[in-house]
Structure 1
Amino acid sequence: MRFLVLSRNATLYSTSRLVLAARSRGHEVTVADPLDFHIVVSRRRPSMFLGDRPVPRADLVIPRIGASITNYGLAVVRQFDMMGVPVLNTAVAIARSRDKLRAMQLLTRKDIDVPRTVCAKTPDSVDLALKFIGGAPAIVKLQQGAQGIGTMIAETPQAVTSLLETLWAMGQDIILQEYIAESKGRDYRAIVVGQRVVAAMRRQAKQGEFRSNLHRGGLGVRVNLDRRYCQAAISAVRVMGLEVAGVDMLEGRDGPKILEINSSPGLEGIERTSGVDVAGAIILHAERFVMRKSKRNAKKDLVLEQERRNRRIRQPVHFANGG
């Protein structure tokens, strides 16, 4: 098969691991920067160029869209979808997971537990918003962010108000979230591939830090997730409509609480901590994904061809006068 990996940098650990895993299984792989594509929108003929050449033929596109290029990256993924090229994680699914408030809304609609979350837009609403989430300390998050970037803790109501006013003045959309004290600075990261948890780890924040992300200095430990946590992670990814995702969960008093769903999860920390070949699992699922798509398309073509034949049979036959 021919795989096209969308990534800003071919030397990144996650990108290079996917390339090696695919090539080890005999696939051709091309890595391309999403910003290098030119999207051509025309009637009935959506197309794209990589530089001044048509995009290379691909059986599947694997998006690794960084948060800094979300909008254009999603446009590129959407264009491939319109061109009929299978995409592992669609633009719609990626967009859902990137918007933290929207993701929380979709999850709770399916009865999946999350930390209490409030969206506030004016200084006058801060006190009431804090009341809804149980008061300070509170977690302040940008609606777009990854790897702990844009996630802050405010210890007092005054600190919450000051932080929100500063961020609003910068034009940022903010959500407030309850602080889950019982998690004690740790969370769980599960990698879900094709409705199955393939690897998991527990992350512990370093001293003086509440964010447990490995990029923030957190320590990762391999774990065998409890069934409830596996099911919560799988259900969350299914709600987003993703094929591959990293799910971050807190350990609440009543069980797992979904913190975030990452459509382009980093592989370095989870592979080294768990010892699992996550890249290989993604490529294996990609192969099955392409095969299923091919079978569905073949079946659809067969149905359309049969409908065309039926229409020809039903057309009335006209005889010449006197025949």
Structure 2
Amino acid sequence: MKFLLISGSKARKEVSKHLISEAKKYFSTVLSIPLDGIRVECVGGENKLFFKNTDLTKFDACYARLFSEDFLFGECVLDILESSGVYLPTSSEAFQIVNHKYYTVQTLCKSKLPVPTTSLSVSPQPTTKISRTVGYPLVVKLLSGFGGRGVMLVQEEQDLVPLLDTMQVFKEFVATQEFIDKGDDIRCYVIGDNVYPVKRIAKKGEWRANVSRGARAILIRIPDEIKEIALKAAKIMGMDISSVDFIKSSKGWLILEINFSPGLMPKFFGKKFAEIIMKHIFNRTKEIKLLP
């Protein structure tokens, strides 16, 4: 069988290297390419994807590690691969949802999954009004962003107003969210039907517990209740591979975010998650090939 790894603009070379190394244990043909090396062609009434002279729609499975910056072209590529029968552990629809932070919250809310109080607005006035109800400090998020980027902590209204004015100039939509102070931060890697919980510990003086911002990470045990929520969230989004970020509040465990291309934290876990991911992709691809 043939496996394709597509790396988006922010993909880490070390992670890609680990994934390819593991893929070669299972697949007879393995190809790793950058998203910007792909071209789309309409051939004989069919959409095709090519990298140089290789037809990418002929592969059996593809893991696309794409990010918000890759959205427009990435969505097109995923859609063509899906319609060509290539197994994708992360669907094109999921890519659309998780790249819009409020749409993610909206989708989770529809399924009665726990999320922090969140709002979306297109102008400063409604946002300011909502923030008075939610209270300060307040988290302000750009609709796209990853690794803690595009996320700001606002302490009081006099800091919020100029920030919103600036975002309006740049035509940025803004989501605001209640701030959970001193809550435990957990990332659940969801791979197939299995959940691998990781506790991230923010470095001193940093309120965001992102490893890319200096946090540490350790594997932990968590209640089955949280595992079930993580599995349900991933299933709703249409993702066989994802990570679901939780924070503990006075209301219980809340979902902060779902990640389409989660960092695999090789600094702390080496090849562990690359091994699990590639084994899952191989087994799932094999199952699909055996279907009548």
State the TM-score bracket (shorter-chain normalisation).
Answer: over 0.9
Alignment correspondent of 2:171: 171
The reply to whether residue 36 of structure 1 matches residue 37 of structure 2 is yes
2:19 corresponds in structure 1 to 18
Q: Is the 8 A contact 1:4 1:62 kept in 2?
A: yes
**TM-score, normalising length: structure 1:** 0.84
Which among 253, 257, 260 is matched to residue 256 of structure 1?
253
Match of 1:281 in 2: 276
Q: Alignment partner of 2:187: what SS?
A: strand
Q: Which runs of 5+ in 1 are unaligned?
A: 300-323
Over the aligned positions, Cα root-mean-square deviation in angstroms equals 2.0
State whether structure 2 residue 176 is matched by structure 1 residue 181.
no
Match of 1:192 among 177, 190, 193: 190
Please name the residue that 2:143 is paired with: 143
Distance 2:269 2:50 in 1: 39
User: Counterpart of 1:231 in structure 2: which amino acid?
Assistant: E
Shift of 1:36: 1.3
**Matched residues in 2 for 1:163 and 1:100: separation?**
18
Give the structure 2 partner of residue 124 of structure 1. Answer: 125
Deviations 1:117-151 (A, max 9, x none): 0012222213321134x211100001111100101
Give the conservation status (yes or no) of the 8 Å contact 1:200–1:222.
yes
Q: Does 1:265 align with 2:266?
A: no
Q: Which has the larger radius of gyration?
A: 1
Alpha-carbon distance in structure 2 between the residues aligned to 1:182 and 1:8? 33
User: What's the CA shift for 1:8?
Assistant: 4.2
Question: What does residue range 46-195 of structure 1 map to in structure 2 within 5 Å?
Answer: 46-55=47-56, 57-132=58-133, 134-183=134-183, 186-195=184-193
- The alignment's TM-score, normalised by the length of structure 2, stands at 0.92
Distance in 2, Cα, partners of 1:211 & 1:182: 11
Identity of aligned residues (%): 25
Q: Deviations over 1:75-95 (max 9, x none)?
A: 111111122222221111121
Shift, 1:262, TM fit: 0.6
Question: What residue identity is the alignment partner of 1:148?
Answer: G
Corresponding pairs, count = 291
Q: Which moved more, 1:93-102 or 1:25-34?
A: 25-34
Query: Structure 1 residues 278, 14: closer, same or farther in 2, change over 3 A?
Result: same
Aligned partners of 2:20 and 2:30 also within 8 Å: yes
CA distance in 1, matches of 2:263, 2:220: 18
Question: Residue 287 of structure 2: which of 274, 292, 304 is its match?
Answer: 292
Call closer, same or farther: CA 1:127–1:206 in 2, change over 3 Å. same
Alignment correspondent of 1:227? 224
Q: 2:236 aligns with which of 227, 234, 239?
A: 239
Cα gap change, 1:27 to 1:250, in 2 (>3 Å): farther
Residues 208, 11 of structure 1: alpha-carbon distance in 2 compared, 3 angstrom cutoff: closer
Runs of 4+ residues deviating >4 angstroms: 8-11
Unaligned runs of 5+ in 2: none
**Contact conserved, 1:74 with 1:91, CA < 8 A, in 2?**
yes
What is the one-letter code of the residue matched to 1:241? G
- Alpha-carbon distance, 1:60 to partner: 0.5
Work out the CA distance in 2 between the residues paired with 1:280 and 1:68. 27
**AA in 1 matched with 2:171:** G
Q: Residue 139 of structure 2: SS of its match in structure 1?
A: strand
* Residue equivalent to 1:317: none
- When residues 32 and 219 of structure 1 are mapped into structure 2, their CA distance, relative to the original with a 3 A threshold, is same
Other-structure match for 2:7: 7
Secondary structure of 2:186's partner?
A: strand
